[in-house]
């Protein structure tokens, strides 16, 4: 049947081909036309899929808080004024996207992981307020386009959460359990969009991208919403952290350090959530240990080593040290939460590795030693 169909198609093409064209040329022309039509249908399907997600997002927000859909514009502004959530110098509406325009200079605006962890000490992240900021810029690049919808949805979810906490709105967040797909899909698209950006970063950092990071961190540190996010999206968050670590290790551009600083900062911000902090330490320990073994092997045989990878390992070492320090200061974390297997592998014969590398690679050896001290101190505690 297939052979007969092919022969019939061949005869149809031969009989219908225009004069002046060979059968091969006409067949290639038909194939290109069909290919373009297929691509068009794919684009339409993606657009419809995005529209369905947007409608599901609006529906879920309305189910969580019916007043949210009805009280927009001036009414929403009144609600916000009642709670004094608006800074004196800014004005916004509940329907606005809430994109911060103050961090649009460059990657430097995102800070470093060390700065974040130092500022975090002594601060209860669950009490942080949601910034009230002007709307998103609608002129987005193709790189930023996938971020717009999830940022919009998650922003408003956080706004409802804050207003309900202040007693201004009544909200039922159990509805998120009945529609976990919308939350998971939104978080997944947000993480995918950030991964695409970090793989090929552009300076200056746009407002939307800065806002996407802010929304993500507020989401995973919120006292109630973080439980839903971790329950439904933990694997995706783990994949996101692994991707960021790979980006740091594999980056090879000449002027890459400013971009790596932004990636490191985002990894550090994820550690505001204790569960994600523990898993991030478990991811960093084998990476640092594996590099130490490779460096020792190259040093012993007097072989060459990748200087770029050597430079890239230091952001991970700095993050690891800061996380271990933070973990040691947190007396609420029991030793049962530590990944004993990863810690044992990291510490095994580490003193010997440090001894052999200390002359040639003193800075890296120092980081290894400090990490081992912090791990041993937590074990003693």
Q: Model confidence over 91-128: pLDDT tens digits?
A: 333 333 333 333 434 444 454 434 434 444 333 333 32
CB burial of 18-50 (b: ≥16 within 10 Å; e: otherwise) equals eeeeeeeebbeeeeeeeeeeeeeeeeeeeeeee
pLDDT confidence band for 143 (50 / 70 / 90): low
Rounded distance, CA 44 to CA 167, Å?
A: 42
Q: Which two tokens stand for residue 4?
A: 């007969």
The pLDDT of residue 148 is 87
Q: How far is CA 202 from CA 141, 192, 242, 312, 375, in A?
A: 11, 16, 21, 19, 37
Q: What is the mean pLDDT of residues 304-319?
A: 91
Q: Model confidence over 279-293: pLDDT tens digits?
A: 999 999 999 999 999
Please state which of the ranges 122-136, 207-221, 257-271, 338-352 shows the lowest mean pLDDT: 122-136
Q: Which two tokens stand for residue 74?
A: 């001036």
The pLDDT of residue 174 is 85
Does 356 have pLDDT greater than 90? yes
- Sort 324 into a burial class: Cβ within 10 Å, 0-12 / 13-18 / 19+: buried
Query: What is the SS3 assignment for 177?
Result: helix
CB contact set of 225 (below 8 Å; sequence gap of 6+): 157, 158, 161, 173, 219
Residue pair 140/208 in contact (Cβ under 8 Å)? The answer is: yes
The pLDDT of residue 379 is 60
The pLDDT of residue 316 is 95
The two counts, helices (H) then strands (E), for the chain are: 16, 0
C-alpha atoms less than 13 angstroms from C-alpha of 176 in its C-beta half-sphere: 23
CB contact set of 154 (below 8 Å; sequence gap of 6+): 186, 187, 190, 215, 216, 219
More confident residue, 142 or 210: 210
The pLDDT of residue 164 is 86
Give the 3-state DSSP-derived string for 263-324, with helices as H, strands as E and coil as C.
HHHHHHHHCCCHHHHHHHHHHHHHHHHHHHHHHHHHHHCCCCCCHHHHHHHHHHHHHHHHHH
DSSP 8-state code for residue 131: P
Residue pair 213/239 in contact (Cβ under 8 Å)? The answer is: no
C-alpha atoms less than 13 angstroms from C-alpha of 306 in its C-beta half-sphere: 11
């Amino acid at each position: 049947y297939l052979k007969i169909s092919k022969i019939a198609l061949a005869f149809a093409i031969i009989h219908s081909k225009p004069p002046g064209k060979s059968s091969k040329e006409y067949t290639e022309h038909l194939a290109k036309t069909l290919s373009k039509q297929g691509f068009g249908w794919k684009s339409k399907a993606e657009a419809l899929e995005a529209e369905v997600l947007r409608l599901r997002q609006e529906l879920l927000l309305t189910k969580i808080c019916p007043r949210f859909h009805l009280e927009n514009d001036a009414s929403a502004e009144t609600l916000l004024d009642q709670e004094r959530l608006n800074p004196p110098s800014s004005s916004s509406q509940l329907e606005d996207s809430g994109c911060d325009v103050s961090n649009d200079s460059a990657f430097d605006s995102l800070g470093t992981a060390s700065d974040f962890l130092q500022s975090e000490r002594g601060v209860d992240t669950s009490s942080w307020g949601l910034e009230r900021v002007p709307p998103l810029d609608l002129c987005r690049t193709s790189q930023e386009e996938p971020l717009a919808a999830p940022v919009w949805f998650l922003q408003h979810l956080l706004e409802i959460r804050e207003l309900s906490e202040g007693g201004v709105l009544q909200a039922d967040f159990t509805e998120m359990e009945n529609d976990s797909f919308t939350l998971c899909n939104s978080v997944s698209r947000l993480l995918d969009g950030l991964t695409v950006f970090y793989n090929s970063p552009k300076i200056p950092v746009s407002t939307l991208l800065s806002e996407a990071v802010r929304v993500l961190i507020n989401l995973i540190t919120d006292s109630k919403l973080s439980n839903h996010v971790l329950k439904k999206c933990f694997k995706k968050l783990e994949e996101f952290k692994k991707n960021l670590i790979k980006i740091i290790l594999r980056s090879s551009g000449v002027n890459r350090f400013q971009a790596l600083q932004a990636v490191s900062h985002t990894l550090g911000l994820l550690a505001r959530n204790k569960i994600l902090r523990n898993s991030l330490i478990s991811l960093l320990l084998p990476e640092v240990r594996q590099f130490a073994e490779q460096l020792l092997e190259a040093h012993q045989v007097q072989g060459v080593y990748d200087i770029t990878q050597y430079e890239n390992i230091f952001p991970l070492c700095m993050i690891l040290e800061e996380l271990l320090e933070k973990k040691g200061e947190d007396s609420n974390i029991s030793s049962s939460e530590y990944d004993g297997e990863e810690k044992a592998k990291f510490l095994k014969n580490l003193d010997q590795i440090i001894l052999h590398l200390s002359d040639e690679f003193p800075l890296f050896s120092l980081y290894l030693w400090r990490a081992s001290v912090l791990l041993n101190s937590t074990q003693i505690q």
